[in-house]
Amino acid sequence: MPKKRTLPYILLGLINSNHQLSGYQIMQEFKNEISDFWTASHSQIYPELQRMTDDGWLTPVTLSSNSDSKRNPIYYQLTTTGQAVLHDWLAEPLTTASAELFPLKLFFLDQPDSPLLKPLLQQQLQLSTERLEYLKGRQQIVFPTDAEVQAHYGHYLTLTRGIQRERNYVSWLTELLNNLTEN
């Protein structure tokens, strides 16, 4: 089964957050906002915008300007169908296979009282806790003695870095969930 394309959902989220965007503005959003956790090129974005328009998810709007430029930029707005598609994607449960989507989904939840926020955080906490337990188990199996650590020190450092990263992630997610519960 082919993997679901993620770019359309990112584009829907960006346009939804800004009400309308041109292709150039979308490129700037990727450069300035999304690039910390996702990248896309010009050659990916523009064909995807056309597909999404063809699928009825977006409406292109040309705003006339008073400038002497020969071309007015095309802005994209979500249709009702596009809004529904974005909402459905945000509401899809995270799985081990889709865990890399967590920062994207989190980025597009604009309201602290979104009903999608707590389930999203809980799902990621579950996945991160499982990942942490897996990494700790690997450490016990692969490095049961100091001699093993010394023989494969780089591997050991990489694994302990992964364990620390997941501990921090679990701690951060737990803190967020506790704050949501308090408010």
77-94 residue pLDDT tens: 999 999 999 999 999 998
What average pLDDT does the structure give for the chain? 91
Mean local confidence (pLDDT), 16-31: 93
**46 Cβ contact list (under 8 Å, min separation 6):** 23
What is the rounded CA–CA span in Å between residue 89 and residue 160? 34
Mean local confidence (pLDDT), 59-76: 79
* Beta-carbon count within 10 A of 16 CB: 19
In DSSP terms, which residues pair with 75 in a beta bridge? 22, 61
125-149 residue pLDDT tens: 999 999 999 999 999 999 999 999 9
